Amino acid sequence: MSSSPRSWRRAGTALRGWRSRQWTVAGAGALATAVLVGAPTDVVPNPLFGRSVPVQWWNYPALAVTAVLAGIVLTTYVRRPSSAPEPHAADGGRLGAIGGVLSFFAVGCPVCNKLVLVLLGASGALSYWAPLQPLLAVLSAGLLAEAALRRLSSETACPVRPSA
Which of the four pLDDT bands, split at 50, 70 and 90, describes residue 80? low
Confidence (pTM): 0.84
Amino acid 130: pLDDT: 93
Model confidence pLDDT, tens digit, residues 30-79: 999 999 999 999 999 999 999 989 999 999 999 999 999 999 999 998 87
98 domain-assigned: yes
Residue 81: predicted pLDDT: 59
Assess if residue 90 is contained within a domain: yes
- Residue 1: the pLDDT is 46
Digit-coded pLDDT (tens) for 2-27: 456 678 898 998 899 899 999 999 99
- With CA atoms as reference, report the closest residue to 87 among 162, 159, 3, 9: 159
Domains: count for the chain: 1
Say what the pLDDT of residue 138 is: 97
Is residue 8 a part of any domain in this protein? no
What percent of the chain stands above pLDDT 70? 84
Identify the domain containing residue 121 by its residue range: 17-156
* 3-state DSSP assignment of residue 82: coil
Is 9 among the domain residues? no
C-alpha distances (whole Å) from 118 to each of 50, 63, 147 are 19, 26, 32
Any domain includes 6: no
Q: Is 70 among the domain residues?
A: yes
pLDDT given for residue 141 in this prediction: 96
Is 34 domain-assigned?
A: yes
Which helix (DSSP H) or strand (DSSP E) does residue 45 occupy? none
